């Protein structure tokens, strides 16, 4: 039995016992009082009647009239006059009771009417004895009515005490629930603080737990800050704050060759035409300020697109890759407008600040050919003059289907059941499968090929159809679970987690399959988790309440915001492939992953490496403390 129920039971029992005891004591007191008063009344009436008879003639008729006159008032059970030898001179008896009182009450609270006795004198001699017994029906009636009034008032008083107790217990219960929920949250790796209760004992407990939570947060934040500093020192350009060439190129190669990479993407490169001339004009400090501003522009621009990444690939070349995008002309115009407003207009002393080349690439494109193509675009931009841009359209005709036609194709595919999951194993260090990662595949027609998520999910995001697809993916995962022994992980899109209709439908689906929920793993990209953090926090709590596992994938690009993760209760994170690729050659990334695994394990979070391409990478990752891995090298 819960503590609150025990408190409620204690309050109810105490109240009932107190009021029941008070009621019984009051009735017993009234009973004793009425018994005493009846006895006194009997004595008074007997003495009065005896005195009256003493002063009058002792005629039997007169005595009978006096007895009858008194008895007919209806208040007496017996009035008798006996001679000294016990012979009855006159007697009236009334045994019938007209009181409307239950028999059980009469038996429970008996009222005795003590007889009143008085002597009748005739001169110096005793004429007889008067005996008077008042009828108890009136006493019972009065006691019954008094008991009813007392019961009513006690019920009202008990109700008032109950309401007061309810309010008090509710206040205590809220404070106690806050403390219990905080303890439960800590067990789920969610470190949240609560308001201190008014109750001294609970306040002391809450203060101690809040202190512990703050210390854990501080520890995590300090560790995250050190990790971010290490990551930036190893993989980021110290001046612009952008990823360096190695990190950017590793990420770009993953977009070209990764199994779940987008079908198309955009690569844009901005080049400072003559960095030496800029340095001569602005000086070292001015040039640094210009490069920092360019770095900020590209950082802000890439954060507008899911999965985008900017980087400094050469001294004067800044690049950004935008997975899922397919219109280089639109990107060229948008980025060119930003550069004109924030660079050309702010540095009027420089006649020629940038040339911008934009190209589209497809999944599986040759890395060297794409770089040559963007160099060609830069050359064409330079031919146009100062601060010019050029976009090269691809001959691949990617995503040329109009938006509304895509909407119909995607909706019909989901409704027709032309959606399936392709499963890839995620293994632990011992080779045991941690879970099967279910990756969505979609077919737009009976004779059409199955498309990977990267082919249609970016379009679904633009058309606000990700919730429809993600819900179907969850249904497929639940149907598949009874057929296998392993758990299943599925991905939720960034646009989906903020959709309240999806959350309601997902809750209904999980509620109807409670036994399978602990075997479901849900993951959201780092971009989506931080872009819609409040919505992600809410859906994490919903999923955790059902017993599901929750994680973040593509983790490692936004460590500056990682202090928020202490509120989520994550079960696992999947490291971004850019930190995994060629890990055996990058001692900086090795140090980063080793430290990160130590922090994650301290709070009970599983670390999984994504995109593992060789046994060498897998061996190094295991030695660094990574718990699981997935990629081309797994399951070969």
Indicate which CATH number applies to the domain containing 446: 3.20.20.450
In this structure, are 388 and 535 located in the same domain? no
Tell me, yes or no, whether 203 lies in a domain.
no
Tell me, yes or no, whether 198 lies in a domain.
no
Tell me, yes or no, whether 192 lies in a domain.
no
The pLDDT score that the predictor gives to residue 557 is 74
| Percent above pLDDT 70 for the chain | 93
Tell me, yes or no, whether 216 lies in a domain.
no
Strand 488-492 and strand 520-525: the pairing is parallel
Confidence grade of residue 401 (pLDDT, cut at 50, 70, 90): low
Tell me, yes or no, whether 211 lies in a domain.
no
What mean pLDDT comes out for the span 48-69? Answer: 83
Closest CA to 150 of 59, 20, 259, 37: 20
In this structure, are 273 and 143 located in the same domain? no
CB 335 within 8 A of CB 294: no
Tell me, yes or no, whether 209 lies in a domain.
no
Burial of 618 (0-12, 13-18, 19+ CB in 10 A): buried
**Would you tell me how many other CB atoms lie within 10 Å of the CB of residue 614?**
16
Q: Has residue 442 got a pLDDT over 70?
A: yes
In this structure, are 343 and 437 located in the same domain? no
What mean pLDDT comes out for the span 426-452? Answer: 87
In this structure, are 416 and 307 located in the same domain? no
Whole-number CA gyration radius for the chain? 46
Indicate which CATH number applies to the domain containing 306: 3.30.70.270
What does the pLDDT look like over 457-470, one tens digit per residue?
A: 878 888 889 999 99
What's 344's DSSP letter?
I
Question: Max alpha carbon distance in the chain (Å)?
Answer: 156
Q: Mean pLDDT score of the chain, rounded to an integer?
A: 85
Give DSSP secondary structure letters for 537-578: HHHHHHHHHTT-EEEEEEESS-GGGGGGGGGTT-SEEEE-HH
The pLDDT score that the predictor gives to residue 399 is 45
Domain closes at, from 367, 392, 417? 392
Q: Has residue 98 got a pLDDT over 70?
A: no
In this structure, are 367 and 287 located in the same domain? yes
In this structure, are 387 and 413 located in the same domain? no
The pLDDT score that the predictor gives to residue 187 is 63
Domain closes at, from 159, 186, 208? 159
Mean pLDDT check: name the lowest of 302-306, 375-379, 471-475, 562-566: 562-566
Q: Has residue 2 got a pLDDT over 50?
A: yes
What does the pLDDT look like over 121-162, one tens digit per residue?
A: 887 888 889 998 888 888 888 888 888 888 888 788 777 777
| Percent above pLDDT 90 for the chain | 27
Tell me, yes or no, whether 115 lies in a domain.
yes
The Cα-based distances of 588 to 231, 232, 583, 595 in angstroms read 8, 10, 9, 11
In this structure, are 354 and 437 located in the same domain? no
CB 625 within 8 A of CB 593: yes
**Would you tell me how many other CB atoms lie within 10 Å of the CB of residue 151?**
15
CB 481 within 8 A of CB 516: yes
Beta bridge partners of 520: 488
Nearest-angstrom CA–CA distance, 284 and 275: 11
Indicate which CATH number applies to the domain containing 94: 3.30.110.200
Burial of 486 (0-12, 13-18, 19+ CB in 10 A): middle
The pLDDT score that the predictor gives to residue 396 is 46
In this structure, are 425 and 330 located in the same domain? no
Q: Has residue 403 got a pLDDT over 70?
A: no
In this structure, are 457 and 367 located in the same domain? no
Give DSSP secondary structure letters for 493-505: -TTTTT-HHHHHH
Tell me, yes or no, whether 204 lies in a domain.
no
Closest CA to 136 of 48, 34, 43, 33: 34
Dihedral sign, Cα of residue 216, residue 218, residue 219, residue 221 = positive
Domain closes at, from 96, 130, 159? 159
Q: At CA 520, angle to CA 514 and CA 525, rounded to 5?
A: 135
Q: At CA 132, angle to CA 130 and CA 135, rounded to 5?
A: 165
Question: DSSP 3-state helix, strand, coil percentages of the chain (rounded to 5)?
Answer: 55, 20, 25
Confidence grade of residue 395 (pLDDT, cut at 50, 70, 90): very low
The pLDDT score that the predictor gives to residue 398 is 42
Structural domain range at position 543 = 403-630
Q: Has residue 322 got a pLDDT over 90?
A: yes
Confidence grade of residue 311 (pLDDT, cut at 50, 70, 90): very high
In this structure, are 459 and 357 located in the same domain? no
The side-by-side arrangement of strands in the sheet containing 355-362 is: 309-312, 317-323, 264-271, 355-362, 388-392
Q: Total domain count for the chain? A: 3
Helix (H, G, I), strand (E, B) or coil at 521: strand
Nearest-angstrom CA–CA distance, 353 and 386: 7
In this structure, are 518 and 408 located in the same domain? yes
In this structure, are 444 and 333 located in the same domain? no
Please list, in sequence order, all residues whose beta carbon lies within 8 angstroms of the beta carbon of residue 212, skipping any fewer than 6 positions away. 186
Q: At CA 62, angle to CA 57 and CA 65, rounded to 5?
A: 150
């Amino acid at each position: 039995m819960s503590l609150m129920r025990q408190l409620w039971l204690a309050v109810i029992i105490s109240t009932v016992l107190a009021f029941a005891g008070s009621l019984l004591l009051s009735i017993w007191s009234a009973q004793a009082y009425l018994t005493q008063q009846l006895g006194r009344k009997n004595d008074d009436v007997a003495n009065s009647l005896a005195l009256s008879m003493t002063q009058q003639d002792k005629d039997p008729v007169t005595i009978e009239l006096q007895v009858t006159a008194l008895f007919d008032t209806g208040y007496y059970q017996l009035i008798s006059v006996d001679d000294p030898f016990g012979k009855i001179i006159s007697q009236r008896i009334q045994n019938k009771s007209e009181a409307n009182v239950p028999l059980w009450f009469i038996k429970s609270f008996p009222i005795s009417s003590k007889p009143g006795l008085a002597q009748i004198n005739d001169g110096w001699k005793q004429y007889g004895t008067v005996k008077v017994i008042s009828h108890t029906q009136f006493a019972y009636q009065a006691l019954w009515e008094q008991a009813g009034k007392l019961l009513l008032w006690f019920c009202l008083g008990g109700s008032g005490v109950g309401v007061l107790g309810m309010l008090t217990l509710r206040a205590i219960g809220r404070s106690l629930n806050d403390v219990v929920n905080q303890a439960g949250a800590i067990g789920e790796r969610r470190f949240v603080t609560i308001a201190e209760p008014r109750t001294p004992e609970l306040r002391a407990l809450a203060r101690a737990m809040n202190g512990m939570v703050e210390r854990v947060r501080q520890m995590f934040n300090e560790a995250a800050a050190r990790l971010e500093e290490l990551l930036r020192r190893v993989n980021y350009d110290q001046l612009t704050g952008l990823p360096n060439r190695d990190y950017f190129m590793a990420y770009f190669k993953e977009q070209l060759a990764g199994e779940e990479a987008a079908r198309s993407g955009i690569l844009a490169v901005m080049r400072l035409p003559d960095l030496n001339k800029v340095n001569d004009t602005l000086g070292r400090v001015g040039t640094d300020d210009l490069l920092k501003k360019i770095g900020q522009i590209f950082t802000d621009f890439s954060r507008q697109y899911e999965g985008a990444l900017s980087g400094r690939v050469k001294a004067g070349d800044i690049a950004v890759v935008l997975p899922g995008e397919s219109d280089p002309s639109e990107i060229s115009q948008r980025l060119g407008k930003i550069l004109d407003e924030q660079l050309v207009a702010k540095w009027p002393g420089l006649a020629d600040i940038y040339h911008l080349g934009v190209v589209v690439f497809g999944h599986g494109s040759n890395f060297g050919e794409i770089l040559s193509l963007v160099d060609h675009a830069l050359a064409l931009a330079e031919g146009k003059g100062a601060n010019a841009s050029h976009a090269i359209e691809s001959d691949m005709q990617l995503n040329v289907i109009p938006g509304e036609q895509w909407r119909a194709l995607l909706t019909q595919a989901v409704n027709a059941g032309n959606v399936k999951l392709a499963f890839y194993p995620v293994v632990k260090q011992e080779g045991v499968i941690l879970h099967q990662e279910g990756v969505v595949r979609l077919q737009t027609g009976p004779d059409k090929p199955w498309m990977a998520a990267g082919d249609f999910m970016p379009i679904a995001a633009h058309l606000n159809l990700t919730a429809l697809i993600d819900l179907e993916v969850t249904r497929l995962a639940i149907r598949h679970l009874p057929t296998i022994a392993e758990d299943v992980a599925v991905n939720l899109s960034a646009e989906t987690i903020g959709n309240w209709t999806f959350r309601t439908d997902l809750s209904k689906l999980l509620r109807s399959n409670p036994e399978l929920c602990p075997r479901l793993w849900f993951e959201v990209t780092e971009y989506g988790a931080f872009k819609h953090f409040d919505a992600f926090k809410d859906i994490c709590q919903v999923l955790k309440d059902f017993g599901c596992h929750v994680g973040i994938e593509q983790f490692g690009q936004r460590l500056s915001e990682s202090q928020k993760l202490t509120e989520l209760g994550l079960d696992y994170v999947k490291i971004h492939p850019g930190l995994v690729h060629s890990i055996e050659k990058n001692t900086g990334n090795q140090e980063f992953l080793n430290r990160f695994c130590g922090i994650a394990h301290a709070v009970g979070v599983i670390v999984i490496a994504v995109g593992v391409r060789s046994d060498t990478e897998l061996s190094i990752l295991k030695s660094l403390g990574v718990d699981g891995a997935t990629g081309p090298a797994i399951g070969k």
